[in-house]
């Protein structure tokens, strides 16, 4: 009797890993266009920064997130049915890398945290 074909082949796993690696590097490359210089993260950024980020970096984030969501179903089936942990570990590693990249990107943006807003009026001083 012929063995059932695995839902994920080694080529598919290598492709998933490679596409995530390409997506991560491109996401960080385009996101870095609007990063604040070191030490200036607390200042306000330019008015076009969010637009540049959404048009250049977010498509990479969305495309790879969708790819990983589609792979999730097959990888979970392989894990449950065949007890194969390698695909699940690759997917978990990819998701962890994306979370780390997003957090790093968020830490490098202008956030306006260094600006103090006066809430009192001159008469109340």
pLDDT of residue 85: 81
Structural domain includes residue 5? no
Query: What confidence tier does 98 reach under pLDDT thresholds 50, 70, 90?
Result: very high
Contact 121, 112 (CB under 8 A): no
Structural domain includes residue 120? no
pLDDT of residue 33: 87
Show Cβ contacts of residue 49 under 8 Å, excluding neighbours closer than 6 positions.
34, 109, 110
Structural domain includes residue 125? no
Structural domain includes residue 122? no
How many structural domains comprise the chain? 1
Structural domain includes residue 40? yes
**Which residues are paired to 35 by β-bridges?**
109
pLDDT of residue 118: 54
Show Cβ contacts of residue 43 under 8 Å, excluding neighbours closer than 6 positions.
36, 110, 112, 114, 115
pLDDT of residue 26: 96
Domain that holds residue 25: 10-114
When pLDDT is averaged across residues 58-87 and rounded to a whole number, the result is 87
Structural domain includes residue 82? yes
Contact 57, 102 (CB under 8 A): no
Structure tokens at 83: 């007890």
Q: Does residue 104 carry a pLDDT above 80?
A: yes
User: Mind listing the pLDDT tens digit for each residue in 30-68?
Assistant: 988 888 777 776 667 777 778 888 899 999 999 999 999
Structural domain includes residue 119? no
Structural domain includes residue 56? yes
């Amino acid at each position: 009797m012929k063995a059932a074909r695995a839902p994920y082949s080694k080529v598919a796993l290598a492709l998933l890993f490679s596409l995530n690696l390409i997506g991560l590097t491109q996401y960080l490359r385009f996101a870095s266009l609007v990063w604040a210089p070191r030490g200036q993260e607390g200042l306000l950024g330019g008015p076009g920064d969010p637009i540049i980020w959404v048009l250049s970096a977010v498509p990479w984030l969305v495309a790879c997130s969708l790819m990983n969501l589609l792979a999730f179903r097959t990888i979970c089936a392989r894990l449950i049915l065949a007890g194969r942990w390698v695909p699940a570990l690759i997917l978990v590693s990819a998701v962890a890398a994306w979370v780390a990249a997003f957090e790093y990107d968020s830490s490098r943006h202008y956030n306006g945290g260094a600006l103090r807003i006066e809430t009192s009026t001159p008469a109340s001083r």
